Copies of this chain bind each other. A is one copy, B any other.
Amino acid sequence: MTQQSTALYTAYTDLLQKAADLNNASAVLGWDQETYMPSKGADIRGRQLATLASAAHELLTSNEYGYLLKQLNALTDLGDTERRNVTLSMEDFEKNKKLSPDFVEELSRLTSECFNNWIAARKANDFSLFVPSLARMIAMKRKQADLYGYTSHPYDALLDDYEKGANVAMLDALFDKIKKQLPVLLNKIKTAPQVSEDCFHQHFPKQQQWDFGIDVLKQMGFDFEAGRQDYAEHPFTTSFSPTDVRITTRVDEHNYASMLWSCIHEGGHGLYEQGLPLAQYGLPLGSPVSLSIHESQSRLWENCIGRSMELWQYFFLKLQGYFPEQLSKTTTSDFFKAANRVEPSLIRTEADELTYHFHVMIRYEIEKALIEGSLAAEDLPAKWNELYQHYLGISPQDDKTGVLQDVHWSHGSFGYFPTYSLGSFYAAQFFDQAKQDIPGLQQQISNGELSNLLQWLREHIHQYGRRYNSEELCERITGQKLDTEFFMRYAADKYKQVYDLE
């Protein structure tokens, strides 16, 4: 690169890293908001977040930045890394320009308000307290879809924020396939004797749960000098840089399952964030590919590893050490089966790996309807309950275990849910490949040796940031496009063990 190219690229890097500083500062404020902030701090926190969001947006939509990108784009001597960063930044820029600073600031303020109302509504177990701000949020999101533009469905425009390239047509096709295939397996399971999960429903003191969770995270390779775990109402992972990644968990003293796999799940997200290249801080190649790839990391750890017989061959003895009274009569196999018990249930985050996808599909259908305007905010609970009845054969008795259970809509995150299912499908496909690439991986897992797997993930996924998009990454790693067959095969194998199916 010539001196002039280098100077341009440095100016570009400086600007993007400043924007990252502002966005990461927002992330710190957001983390604090959901972990430690006292209740009266909410209003002012809302305006602080709005100011930060608008300052970052201003930088990323400035004419100065646009001109810089244009100049960089015209250069012929950029290296591959630089070229890819610039190309992605151009795409981001074009998209960002579509939202005015006022819109972004208003959205950020509304998000804080909406989140606080969701908290209050959950506390009061009363969806109506959430309706007014949610209705404004939906209107805002429709406007956002219009500003972004779309060819087929307004929801496509919102999806793009979380999963570039995803759209209603593609998701409909994918979910239609799952809607056909999953019930076949579920019916087989239904006819087999149900496995017990009584071992989870005892008193597990908070502190021991916490301590074991930390042990598991350490074994997974989560670096506690570059991150930490805290309590939050709704578990989430956030990152301020690969050197400071925050995961959160919740604890139910009477249901151990509630915390354990959530902890491993967030740990998987956290490992991805810690594995991103620090040298690319603030640049596209220092950022995660997409939500589905992010989710593939959490689900690979949570389900493919965290709910495997192999892992518990190693960990169950340790767990018994933490809870000798509670688990003395439980065998590793009992525990493995309990961890994989399939049963239609009301809470998405506590659902089993199979029915989980119905939770997602329900939300997906609702979001499409809300955004296209065929469903109003106040009619949400009725629609919710109807869909739960239809797909899962059950429906919630109250809002807290129904329509108020997820934080997403209060954050304005419409289009986010489908990435959870995509993540599961990618996870199964990646894990299949990892088993081929790492000789003796299953054996390693049963010895608690997880470092080769982490190394594989670092090498094939984490280190690249956004160098490849979801589809490219999947093809590079597995030699083929995303295919739900991998998930179905993984599920068939596992549940054969769990339910002694033939």
List the interface of chain A (C-beta within 8 A of B).
Answer: 17-18, 21-22, 24-26, 28-29, 32, 36-41, 43-45, 47-48, 50-52, 55, 223-228, 230, 240-241, 243-244, 278, 281
A39 — nearest CB in chain B belongs to which residue?
B225
A227–B28 CB distance below 8 A: no
Q: Interface on chain A toward B: helix, strand, loop, or mixed SS?
A: helix
A241–B44 CB distance below 8 A: yes
A241–B41 CB distance below 8 A: yes
A44 — nearest CB in chain B belongs to which residue?
B241
Q: Which of B22, B38, B47, B240 contacts A45 (CB 8 A)?
A: B240
For residue A373, give the distance in angstroms from its CB to the closest CB of chain B.
34
Known: A25-B48, A37-B244, A44-B281. 15 other contacts (CB 8 A): A22-B51, A22-B55, A24-B48, A28-B28, A32-B32, A36-B228, A38-B243, A38-B244, A39-B225, A40-B226, A40-B244, A41-B240, A41-B243, A43-B243, A48-B240
Contacting residues, chain B, for A226 (C-beta < 8 A): 38, 40-41
B224–A21 CB distance below 8 A: no
Q: A18-B51, A38-B224, A226-B38 are in contact. Are A32 and B28 (CB under 8 A)?
A: yes
Contacting residues, chain B, for A228 (C-beta < 8 A): 36, 38
Contacting residues, chain B, for A50 (C-beta < 8 A): 21
A52 — nearest CB in chain B belongs to which residue?
B25
For residue A433, give the distance in angstroms from its CB to the closest CB of chain B.
31
Closest 8 CB pairs of A and B: A41-B244, A21-B51, A44-B241, A40-B226, A40-B243, A21-B48, A40-B225, A25-B25
A52–B21 CB distance below 8 A: yes
Q: Identify which of A55, A227, A230 gathers the most chain B CB atoms within 10 Å of its CB.
A: A55
